[in-house]
Every structure is written in structure tokens, then in C-alpha cells.
Amino acid sequence: MAITRRGLLKGAAAGLLAKPAVGQGPAVVTRRRFKAWISRGDGRGRTTLQEATLRPISGRQVVVRTQATNLCYSNVGAVLGVQPNVAGGGTPPVSALAAPPGTRRMNDMAVIQGHGGIGIVEAVGPEVRRVRVGDQVCVSGTPQCGSCYHCLRGRSDMCQFLSAIGADDLTAIADLSDGTPVYENSHIGGLAELMVTFEEWVVPLFTKAEIVDLGMVCSCVSVAGLGATASQGLATIAPGATVAVVGCGPLGLSAVQGARIAGASKIIAIDPIRARREVALKVGATDALDPNVEKDNLIQRVRGLSSWPTDRLWSGGRNPGGRRPGAGADFVVEAAGADQVPPKLEAGPDPTGILPMQQAYQMCALGGHIITTSLVRGNITLPGNLFSIGGVTHHGGQAGGMSPMRDIPRFVRMLESKQYDSKTLATTVVSLDGMLEAYEQVAYRTTVTAIMTI
Ligand SMILES: [Zn+2]
Ligand SMILES: [Zn+2]
């Protein structure tokens, strides 16, 4: 057979594509038994440590042996079985983004809660290409398929795979000894020795970073804070800019760090809890404000701190006062959110999270940017004309608008280069057995955040 250029190219292409095109061999998963925190029923005590037996996997499923997972505050209600703290806040309105009511009730199902984590791939379905057995991966809170409508438009934080996480959408991944099927929150879980997920949710990591540090930077809250500030997914923080961060939980504290990494010259951290303000100052904030002390003066204080060296308008100045003040933060990251239970440390001014969000909007400079990340309880009212013609650009998004496959590996590089400080944020580290106790600390805000390692 004659050797032709076309034939050579065809051969090369076939070689290149052969492996990924056919995927990997079928997974060999025996009926592996593993420990998992199973949530079921209503009220306190709904989450117990049990043994489950893994079901065989198929297609794009990936089995990950958990190394570390973050105990996320937004999961408090489901794990501890506590009612949301609605005192003074009324009942939550039905969200357009909430999972539709299904034929079965999530609380009646045996569900492993959690928002993903990091671990080692133990098995893959035959269609999986992104990761291999033995890879260390992040099971991301936000999937990225790369081919849905939103992924194709650069908004993988809105990946359509995330739209099917209601009770009727979940796939059983294991069984309890009495035959009860076991499901996972959002197809990812985390509070167990194993996570079984789909390829869309995993990001391979190539790093030698220590497990707690890596678990912290890859947690849903850290990637959201870094996403909002250092991924350039929603807004690009200009070097030298003034950034205000409203709410300094692990998400806000990651946003403080992201603002520092992005080159902000002033970073104003706002939180009612003294310990959190101190952590904020340690990881990069230049100023820290207590909303309980500042009260109605909070917005003026942020404007004062973001004032310019000159108010001479012919000289590039910003006039802080007047009907159209030149002052205000160039970028505001809102990361406060509603209380799920009344905190045991300093409570903020509004348990619904609405007031901090309104204040965040109003402390933004005219023409500036606000990035909202938190879950509030209720509807937001804003001054209409400020909203309409104030020039403030609002960026809302999942996980700070980050793109998992593009950004999580970059965030890991930020950890390795010591730009991102995981250690100061991971104030509680527990084993699988200590999970529930640590979740109480997270719920009552007596720790910044907790990482469970296995
Ligand atoms: Zn989370
Ligand atoms: Zn997608």
C-alpha cells in the first residue's frame, strides 16, 4: 500500500483519538461496603453513621474514595435537622431555582449529604474520559459538562446538569443492610467514605498538596470566594481597586484572599463576628468593620475608606459627597447570607441576610460592580433610581461564576504558590466519626469552617 500524506494524517488522528474515543474498560466494582452519614426523616438526629453496600456503576459514573470534605453551612439544615431560623424573617418565598416538587419527598429518602470534596478515583464507568482510576480529583459542587447551552456560553456555573438534582432525579448508589436505597445530595454527597458521581462533577488534580489544605481550597465555599474575585468569570477586579467583602465566613474569607491575589489596594472586610474579622485581617483585608457597631453608618464608613487622595474633579478626583458621590467600593462581594440557626457568637443585624445584601449594593461605587454569592431568605428591595441609573453592575452566579475545569486547577496553584492560605481558614479538622459534632460548630458559627478527613 502506498504511503500517502493523507493516509499518515488519518493514522495519526486515529492514534490520537483511539484511547479517549473508546473510553476506558468497564469498571470492576464488587459489592464494596463503606461507612456513610445517612440523613433520613425529620428533626434532630436525622443523620446517623451507617454501613452501606455500593451498587455497580455504569456509563459516566465515577467512584471516589473520599480524602477530605468541607462541612458547608448551607447544608446545616439537612444534616442537623434544624428548622431555619425564621424569627423576624417570615417564610421563604418559592425560588425559581428551587428543585421542583417530586413524587417523593427528599426527607423520606436515605441521602448522603455534602457538597463534594477531594479523593482518589477507585472505579470509572466505561464512558468516562476525564479521569482515570488512581487519579486524585475534586468532586465539585458545580458540574461542568462543557457542551450544554450555558457551558457553551462560558457560564458553566449554570451548567444544565445542575438542573436535575431534585428528589426524583437522584440515582441510588448503594443500599443499606435492610435494602433501603441510598442516594446522594446533588449527585455528589461527601459525608461518606465514598462519593459516587458523574464525570461532569469531577476535576482531576495534579498536585502534592497536603490533604487538609487541598480539601479547603477545593471546597465549595473556597472556590466560590475565589471564583467571585480571582477567576474573572463574572467581573475582573482591576489591580489597585477597592473591594468590600460583606460577610466573612469561609466564602467571604476566600473572597478577601482572591481580592488580594487580584491586586486590590484596599480590602474592607465586614462581619459581626470578631474572630472572623481577625482572620480577615490576617489573610489580606486592610480594614475590618463590625456592622453591629456601624449600624446605619456602615455605607458611609465604606465610602470614607474608599475615598480618593483628591476630590478635585479636574484632577481625576472623586468627590465623596453630593447627589452622585464619587466614593464607594469599586467591587463589592456579598457573602453574608441568612442564618440557619441563631449564632452562638455575635449575631448580625438581620438573620434573613437581606439587609447585608441591600447594604452591599449601596456601598458599591456608582459604576462599580457587585457580585452576590449568598442564600438569603426573602425578596430584596433597593432604591429604584440607584438600581436603574446608578451604573452598578450586578453579577449573580453559582460558585462565584467560576468554571470548574478551568479554575479549580488554578486555585490549587494559588495554594501551592502560597498565595492562598488554607490553614487559617480550616479552623476545625475532624475524622469521619467527629463529623456531627463539627457540624454543630459550623451551624452555630463557633468555628470558621470544618474539614472532615478520612
Ligand atoms: Zn456548599
Ligand atoms: Zn453544561
Residue 297 C-alpha to ligand 1 middle, in angstroms? 32
Residue 352 C-alpha to ligand 1 middle, in angstroms? 18
**Segment 276-282 long-range contacts (CB within 8 Å, at least 24 positions apart):** 276/248, 276/249, 276/448, 277/248, 279/248, 279/253, 279/424, 279/425, 279/448, 280/245, 280/248, 280/252, 280/253, 280/256, 282/421, 282/424
Q: Which ligand is nearest to the CA of 250?
A: 1
Paired sense of beta strands 202-205 and 181-184, if any? unpaired
Do the beta carbons of residue 63 and residue 198 sit within 8 Å?
Answer: no
b/e map of 140-173 (b: 16 or more CB within 10 Å)?
bbbbbbeebebbeeebbbbbebbeeeebeebeeb
Check residue 95 and give its pLDDT: 56
Check residue 86 and give its pLDDT: 53
Residue 143 C-alpha to ligand 2 middle, in angstroms? 7
Residue 136 C-alpha to ligand 2 middle, in angstroms? 22
For 146-155, write each residue's pLDDT tens digit: 999 999 999 9
Q: Which ligand is nearest to the CA of 373?
A: 1
Percent of the chain with pLDDT over 90: 83
Residue 117 C-alpha to ligand 1 middle, in angstroms? 10
Q: Which ligand is nearest to the CA of 164?
A: 2
The rounded Cα 305 to chain-centroid distance in angstroms is: 29
Name the nearest CA neighbour of 182 among 75, 47, 74: 47
Check residue 16 and give its pLDDT: 44
Taking residues 302-327, report their average pLDDT: 89
pLDDT at 242 over 90: yes
Residue 114 C-alpha to ligand 1 middle, in angstroms? 7
pLDDT at 359 over 90: yes
CA dihedral 70, 71, 72, 73 (to 10 degrees): -150
Residue 251 C-alpha to ligand 1 middle, in angstroms? 9
Residue 221 C-alpha to ligand 1 middle, in angstroms? 6
pLDDT grade for 192, boundaries at 50, 70 and 90: very high
Check residue 83 and give its pLDDT: 74
Q: Which ligand is nearest to the CA of 153?
A: 2
Half-sphere exposure of 52 (CA within 13 A, CB side): 29
Residue 187 C-alpha to ligand 2 middle, in angstroms? 15
Check residue 18 and give its pLDDT: 43
Residue 71 C-alpha to ligand 1 middle, in angstroms? 8
Check residue 238 and give its pLDDT: 96
Name the nearest CA neighbour of 396 among 160, 158, 231, 191: 158
Residues near 389 by beta carbon (within 8 Å), at least 6 away in sequence: none
Check residue 92 and give its pLDDT: 53
Check residue 98 and give its pLDDT: 62
pLDDT at 21 over 50: no
Residue 152 C-alpha to ligand 2 middle, in angstroms? 7
Do the beta carbons of residue 450 and residue 443 sit within 8 Å?
Answer: no
138-142, 280-284, 314-318, range with the lowest pLDDT: 314-318
pLDDT grade for 85, boundaries at 50, 70 and 90: low
Residue 116 C-alpha to ligand 1 middle, in angstroms? 8
Check residue 7 and give its pLDDT: 57
pLDDT grade for 319, boundaries at 50, 70 and 90: confident
pLDDT at 12 over 60: no
Half-sphere exposure of 418 (CA within 13 A, CB side): 0
Residue 359 C-alpha to ligand 1 middle, in angstroms? 24
pLDDT grade for 323, boundaries at 50, 70 and 90: confident
Taking residues 353-360, report their average pLDDT: 98
pLDDT at 17 over 50: no
Q: Grid coordinates representing 285?
A: 483585608
pLDDT grade for 163, boundaries at 50, 70 and 90: confident
pLDDT at 249 over 60: yes
pLDDT at 116 over 50: yes
4-18, 142-156, 382-396, 419-433, range with the lowest pLDDT: 4-18
Residues near 401 by beta carbon (within 8 Å), at least 6 away in sequence: 155, 157, 227, 228, 231, 233, 234, 371, 395
Residue 247 C-alpha to ligand 1 middle, in angstroms? 15
Q: Which ligand is nearest to the CA of 201?
A: 2
pLDDT at 118 over 60: yes
**Average pLDDT over the chain, rounded to an integer:** 91
Paired sense of beta strands 364-372 and 266-270, if any? unpaired
Taking residues 181-201, report their average pLDDT: 97
Check residue 15 and give its pLDDT: 47
SS (H, E, C) the chain: CCCCHHHHHHHHHHHHHHHHHHCCCCCCCCCCEEEEEEECCCCCCCEEEEEEEECCCCCCEEEEEEEEEECCHHHHHHHHCCCCCCCCCCCCCCCCCCCCCCCCCHHHCEEECCCCEEEEEEEECCCCCCCCCCCEEEECCCCCCCCCHHHHCCCHHHCHHHHCCCHHHCCCCEEECCCCEEEEHHHCCCCECEEEEEHHHEEEECCCCCHHHHHHHCCHHHHHHHHHHHCCCCCCCCCCCEEEEECCCHHHHHHHHHHHHHCCCEEEEECCCHHHHHHHHHHCCCEEECHHHHHHHHHHHHHHHCCCCCCCHHHCCCCCCCCCCCCCEEEEEECCCCCCCCCCCCCCCCCCCHHHHHHHHHCEEEEEEEEECCCCCCCCCCCHHHHHHCCCEEEECHHHHCCHHHHHHHHHHHHHCCCCCCCCCCCEEECHHHHHHHHHHHHCCCCCCEEEEC
For 23-57, write each residue's pLDDT tens digit: 565 555 668 999 999 999 999 999 999 999 999 99
For 417-449, write each residue's pLDDT tens digit: 999 999 999 999 999 999 999 999 999 999 999
pTM of the model: 0.92
pLDDT at 397 over 70: yes
Taking residues 267-292, report their average pLDDT: 98
